[in-house]
Amino acid sequence: MKTKMEDQATGQPTLPGFFQGLQSGLSIAIGYMPIALAFGLLAKNTGISLAHTVGMSLLVFAGASQFMALGLLALGTGAVEIVFSTFIVNIRHMLMSMSINEKAIQESTLRRLIYAFGITDEVFAVASTRDGVVGSNYLYGLGLMAYSSWVINSGIGYAAGSALPEAFQQGMSIALYAMFIGLLLPSVKKYRKALFLSGTAALLNAGLVTFFPAGWAIIGATIGAVGLLELVQSSRKDRTKEDGDES
């Protein structure tokens, strides 16, 4: 693992990182397909144009808030409310970017400006569960793969979504969750910490989501679980007077 990090830190092979990113992005691309198709189809039913539909996917690139925008548009909600609820839903990405910032090699601001655009839940999940550090080329490949699938399938969904078999559309709704599980499980098998963190956050989220909008519930559950682990670890350390970090 050390040599791997050194390889990436010296940054000699730039292209391979990009292609590794594209490859890692494949499962996101598959996972986005049904969601983007559904978005396109729903956008058409809402009555907005193809240009607005693809434009929204191109410029916003955030699933949940795009669906919400359609819902609000259908209700005739005003622009300010739509933009504000988008902000509420997507502020959770701030937490994910902070975590990516810790995981990524320090590179130029321009590169960060570019890959920041691609940090979705799924891109974050794939990048952050990868061994070692990540570089901007890897994040470009990963983001581009996810982004292409999102934009292209939004357009296809608008044009042809209703032609897809219903059973397949329904089966595809599990794709992103299956991906999250596939990303989490190897760590859960290896580290008890991962089991504690994910389990605690899941339970906290189930509680919080009944009172708060989903984006805030995820933030609260994530911070809550991470904070709880710190508390448990520090109280255990105090009791046993252990020194040294166990991670």
Partner 1 sequence: MNLETVNTTLWVIIIGMALVTYIPRLLPLVALDAEKIPPVLARMLRNIPYAALGALIFPGILGIHDQLWYGLVGGVVAVGVAYTGAHLIVVVLSSVAVLSALAVLL
Q: Is 145 in the site for partner 1 (CB under 8 A)?
A: no
Q: What residues form DSSP beta bridges with 95? A: none
Number of residues that bind partner 1 (CB under 8 A): 99
| Cα gap 235→229, rounded to integer Å | 10
Q: Is 19 in the site for partner 1 (CB under 8 A)?
A: no
Stretch that binds partner 1, among 14-22, 151-159, 220-228, 236-244 (CB under 8 A): 220-228
Question: Taking contact as CB under 8 A, which single stretch among the options 5-13, 14-22, 57-65, 152-160 is the one that binds partner 1?
Answer: 57-65
Q: By CB under 8 A, tell whether 209 contacts partner 1.
A: yes
Percentages helix, strand, coil for the chain (3-state, rounded to 5) are 80, 0, 20
Q: Is there binding between residue 82 and partner 1 (CB under 8 A)?
A: yes
Q: Is 83 among the residues that bind partner 1 (CB under 8 A)?
A: yes
In the complex, least distance from residue 13 CB atom to partner 1, rounded to whole angstroms:
23
**Angle, vertex CA 128, rays to CA 243 and CA 169, nearest 5:** 140
d(CA 86, CA 66): 8
Rounded to a whole number of angstroms, the CA Rg of the chain reads: 20
Residue 182 sits in the site that holds partner 1 (CB under 8 A)? yes
Could you say which DSSP state residue 106 is in? P
Q: Does 25 bind partner 1 (CB under 8 A)?
A: no
Judged by beta carbon, residue 44 or residue 93, the one nearer partner 1 is 93
Measured distance CA(113)–CA(48) in Å, rounded: 30
CA distance 154 to 32: 9
Q: Among residues 71, 148, 184, 216, which is the contact residue for partner 1, using CB under 8 A?
A: 184
* Candidate list 132, 194, 212, 216; residue touching partner 1; CB under 8 A: 194
| Sequence letter at residue 76 | G
Of 39 and 124, the one with the shorter C-beta distance to partner 1 is 124
